[in-house]
């Protein structure tokens, strides 16, 4: 079957595609960090000025982000950061739980005392720093420490495709909202810390099935809390 050749990276078409991809990545990063909050309008002129590009790559980048489900186009408002439906969160976290559970099974084979120490340090940071930063102010220290905890396990698991699949699930939703969930619910934050502790204990005991089970339960719990956060807030809070 004949396929169209990919544009050469040094050709005008190749450079144009790279600029669109870079622009989309920059907008995506601002959405995921909460710098551009959920429900916000995405005005091409403002984004072009912010990113130092013309409106053309911004327009194409927004189409790319719309195709990926991160933004949507609403009547009389244009492009806005999409507010996820609770059922989407639950479905995504069900998939993520299976993937993260597999990372634990693989990590048991390669975990070291140094890695266990780093995991405990990351979890202690989650315990000691504030629960999160207000929406729109980027990633909080607790979010960064929580991400570090999971990323360490992904790294030790040694499967880049698996890590990318988890990253794709995570990037479906703004990360600052996860921080707000922990900030708004101290009980859930304490549960989150204890769940991390049980995961580390299972890894230290080289108990692959217990590590998998603990991680899956942890991710499902996080997804349920996130879904409830969206359920408790009317769409009008974000869309006006």
pLDDT tens-digit series, residues 177-196:
877 787 777 888 899 999 99
Q: What is the mean pLDDT of residues 107-128?
A: 94
Domain boundary assignment for the chain: 12-81, 86-239
pLDDT of 197 strictly over 70: yes
Give, in order, the Cα–Cα distances in Å from 193 to each of 91, 107, 141, 150, 179. 23, 20, 14, 12, 13
Average pLDDT, the chain: 86
pLDDT of 50 strictly over 90: yes
Looking at residue 11, what is its pLDDT? 55
Looking at residue 10, what is its pLDDT? 55
Looking at residue 73, what is its pLDDT? 87
pLDDT of 58 strictly over 70: yes
Give residues with Cβ within 8 angstroms of 210, minimum separation 6: 202
Positive or negative, the CA dihedral 96, 133, 224, 212 is positive
Q: How far apart are CA 81 and CA 98, in angstroms?
A: 28
Report residue 5's pLDDT band, with 50, 70 and 90 as the boundaries. low
CA atoms in the 13 A half-sphere facing the CB of 1: 1
pLDDT of 210 strictly over 70: yes
Decide: residue 173, CB within 10 A, 0-12 exposed, 13-18 middle, 19+ buried: buried
Looking at residue 135, what is its pLDDT? 43
pLDDT of 237 strictly over 60: no
- Give 118-121's long-range contacts (Cβ < 8 A, gap of 24+): 118/152, 119/149, 119/152, 119/153, 119/196, 119/199, 119/200, 119/203, 120/200
Q: CATH: 1.10.10.10, 1.10.10.60, 3.40.718.10, 2.60.120.650. Which one for 12-81?
A: 1.10.10.10
* pTM for the predicted model, two decimal places: 0.78
Looking at residue 121, what is its pLDDT? 96
Looking at residue 185, what is its pLDDT? 78
Q: Which residues pair with 41 in a beta bridge?
A: 80
Find out whether 81 and 70 touch, Cβ atoms under 8 Å.
yes
Report residue 38's pLDDT band, with 50, 70 and 90 as the boundaries. confident
Token digits for 55? 């409106």
pLDDT of 222 strictly over 60: yes
Summary count for the chain: helices (H), strands (E): 11, 2
pLDDT of 122 strictly over 90: yes
Report residue 8's pLDDT band, with 50, 70 and 90 as the boundaries. low
Positive or negative, the CA dihedral 66, 71, 72, 77 is negative
pLDDT tens-digit series, residues 124-163:
998 887 544 444 444 567 788 899 999 999 999 999 999 9
pLDDT of 211 strictly over 80: yes
Looking at residue 132, what is its pLDDT? 43
pLDDT of 238 strictly over 70: no
**CATH fold group of domain 86-239:** 1.20.120
């Amino acid at each position: 079957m004949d396929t169209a050749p990919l544009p050469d990276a040094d050709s005008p078409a190749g450079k144009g595609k790279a600029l669109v991809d870079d622009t989309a990545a920059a907008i995506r990063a601002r959405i995921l960090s909460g710098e551009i909050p959920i429900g916000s309008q995405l005005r091409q002129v403002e984004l072009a000025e912010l990113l130092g590009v013309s409106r053309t790559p911004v327009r194409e980048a927004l189409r790319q982000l719309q195709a990926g489900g991160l933004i949507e186009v609403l009547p009389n408002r244009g492009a806005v950061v999409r507010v996820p439906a609770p059922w989407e969160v639950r479905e995504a976290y069900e998939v993520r739980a299976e993937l993260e559970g597999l990372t634990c099974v693989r990590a048991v084979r390669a975990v070291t005392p140094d890695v266990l120490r780093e995991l405990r340090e990351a979890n202690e940071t989650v315990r000691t720093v504030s629960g999160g930063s207000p929406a729109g102010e980027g990633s909080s220290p607790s979010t960064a420490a929580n991400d570090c905890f999971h990323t360490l396990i992904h790294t030790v698991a040694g499967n880049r495709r698996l890590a990318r699949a988890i990253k794709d699930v995570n990037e479906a939703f703004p990360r600052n909202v996860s921080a707000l969930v922990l900030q708004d619910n101290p009980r859930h934050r304490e549960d989150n810390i204890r769940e991390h502790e049980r995961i580390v204990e299972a890894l230290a005991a080289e108990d692959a099935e217990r590590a998998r089970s603990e991680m899956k339960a942890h991710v499902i719990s996080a997804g349920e809390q996130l879904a409830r956060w969206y359920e408790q807030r009317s769409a009008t809070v974000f869309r006006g």
